[in-house]
Amino acid sequence: MAKPPLQFDNSYARELEGFYVTVQGAQVPAPHVLRLNHPLAEELGLDADHFLTPEGAQELTGMRAPEGGTSIAMAYAGHQFGGFSPQLGDGRALLIGELIDLNGQRRDIHLKGSGKTPFSRGGDGKAVLGPVLREYLMGEAMHALGIPTTRALAASTTGEMVLRQNGPEQGAVLARVASSHLRVGTFQFFASRGDHARVRKLADYAIARHYPDATAADSPYLELFRQVQDRQANLIAEWVHVGFVHGVMNTDNMTISGETIDYGPCAFIDAYSPDAVFSSIDRQGRYAFGNQPNLAQWNLARFAETLVLLINPEDQDAAIAQLMEVLEAFPEQYQQHWLDGMRRKLGLFTERDEDLDLTNDLHALMQEAGSDYTQTFRALSRVADGDAEALKGILKVEGTMDWIARYQHRLGHDGKHDTRAAAMDAVNPIYIPRNHLVEEALAAASDGDMGPFDRLLEVLSTPFQLQEGADAYALPAPDGFGPYTTFCGT
Ligand code: AMP
Ligand code: MG
């Protein structure tokens, strides 16, 4: 016998009894690992060959729990588009175990689409190929962009057809890796039931797993809140820096770890607009591009509510005041992360008061010109190198010349830096998962041609480096592509 391919250490299942239900994944006719993420498997210390055996395919589709693993559906609640659902939970997902990766980090291995659980609420517990591959692509693109995210370990097909809105589709299961699956909604599940002992247990677990230095603070639970908020402020700023719209920032889709999770109706903007919305169900624009920091703060307020009794059971008003003080700092904190990142994108090594106006005015020009967000920022390093032509060609509006003059003046104040253009090119991507390319790749995959998916994934894995033969991947959607709409609950 070869050594067991997975060395699990299942802290969630072990320490948090009552926070999950043990359930077997569904049996499927023909489990097949369509794509395995080899670099990630390596990072996890996994034997990739094992997953290419029939047994491995059964494990990655949830048919069989791997040796030493778990098979649990986690409980959580959540505010969805502002309305509270006291019971959501893993309705089509299973946590199959935790591993310590080669860097000593604890990582969850989780399946999505593995069949019904007690949390399925009438859903079929399944996932289909397009959305599974979409999450694979998006997560890997975000990772390559340096943004904290869950990642796909594998995409597998099940050999069965699953009924969706537009007819039957190929069933699939995503295996994904996360630093944990603790969500704001996990806290809400227990808090809304008045089970404060379990909220405390969960908070202690979250601190030990993600914020161990919080234990040294006067109030560890307040410190937990402060640190989660800081990671979220940073995360949302990073989304905005690359033009990412999550699309469904419900509290069950906000992690305690600060990783991006649940790539459902997400998309990247092309033309800059703070009002950009892609999700078909987000009719009010609740999760619009420019509204994401507000909604993150709203979600954090829901998180704060679950912690009140832990922070001060005797004097709730005092606890609320402490939490509010932290929460009210969010907009400024976010703004600081955003502006710091914008300075990097503009190649500014120093800070001056005028930077905010300079940045905002660039955004106003982009909006007026309808110019491509990614291309505009990428062209800035050329300006910094003394060549403004590319930017002029993109930002075709009257104010551009003035702005370039102000920018050049500002760069003059910043001093000469030989590394400036390279530093800018290391934060302003050339390649993002453009909506038309993602759709093309998924359409081909559903016809059995994985070529476009593989090629797109390859290009997106080094998004900051100019790649030969990849020009088309850097371009916005052709005119005929039209407005883009994404769908939830897929
Ligand atoms: P999501 O939109 O993927 O974040 O899911 C929100 C909630 O709906 C979670 O509790 C999911 O487990 C559940 N859910 C989504 N799709 C399905 C499905 N096909 N079957 C059962 N539950 C589902
Ligand atoms: Mg979700």
Active site (annotated) includes residue 372:
no
Q: First-to-last CA distance in the chain? A: 40
Report the atom number in ligand 1 closest to the C-alpha of 488.
Answer: 2
Alpha helices in 312-354 (DSSP H): 316-328, 330-346
400-414 and 373-384 helices, crossing angle to 10°:
50
Ligand 1 pocket list (CB less than 6 A): 88-93, 119-120, 123-126, 253, 262, 264, 488-489
Residues 154 and 19 in one domain: yes
HEC string for 181-200 = CCEHHHHHHHHCCCCHHHHH
- Out of 111, 121, 248, mutate this one to test ligand 1's pocket (max ligand atoms within 8 Å of CB): namely 121
Residue tagged active-site, from 252, 262, 282, 372: 252
| 150 alpha carbon, closest ligand | 2
Number of domains in the chain: 2
Question: If we measure between CA atoms, which residue out of 145, 340, 310 comes closest to residue 233?
Answer: 340
Q: Ligand 1 centroid to 121 CA: how many Å? A: 9
Domain that holds residue 23: 11-181
Residues 175 and 190 in one domain: no
Tell me the average pLDDT of the chain.
Answer: 96
Question: If we measure between CA atoms, which residue out of 191, 184, 143 comes closest to residue 295?
Answer: 184
pLDDT digits (tens, 9 = 90+) for 313-347: 999 999 999 999 999 999 999 999 999 999 999 99
pLDDT of 490 reads 61
The tokens describing 317, both together, are 């008003």
pLDDT exceeds 90 at position 484: no
pLDDT exceeds 80 at position 70: yes
Question: For residue 28, what are the contacts with CB-CB under 8 A and spacing of at least 6?
Answer: 61, 63, 158, 159, 160, 171
Q: What is the pTM of this model?
A: 0.97
Q: Name the residue with the closest Cα to ligand 1, atom 23.
A: 91
Question: For residue 458, what are the contacts with CB-CB under 8 A and spacing of at least 6?
Answer: none
Q: How confident is the model at residue 489 (pLDDT cuts 50, 70, 90)?
A: low
As a whole number of Å, the CA-based R_g of the chain is 23
Q: Are 190 and 199 in contact (CB under 8 A)?
A: yes
Residues 68 and 191 in one domain: no
Residues 100 and 222 in one domain: no
Domain boundary among 127, 159, 181: 181
Domain boundary among 337, 366, 382: 337
Residues 26 and 76 in one domain: yes
* Amino acid at residue number 200: R
Classify residue 52: in a domain, yes or no. yes
Classify residue 83: in a domain, yes or no. yes
Q: Are 375 and 432 in contact (CB under 8 A)?
A: no
Residues 167 and 201 in one domain: no
Q: In whole angstroms, what is the distance from residue 236 CA to residue 294 CA?
A: 10
Q: Ligand 1 centroid to 264 CA: how many Å? A: 10
pLDDT digits (tens, 9 = 90+) for 407-455: 999 999 999 999 999 999 999 999 999 999 999 999 999 999 999 999 9
Residues 217 and 170 in one domain: no
Classify residue 93: in a domain, yes or no. yes
pLDDT of 295 reads 98
Residues 133 and 168 in one domain: yes
Q: In whole angstroms, what is the distance from residue 64 CA to residue 57 CA?
A: 9
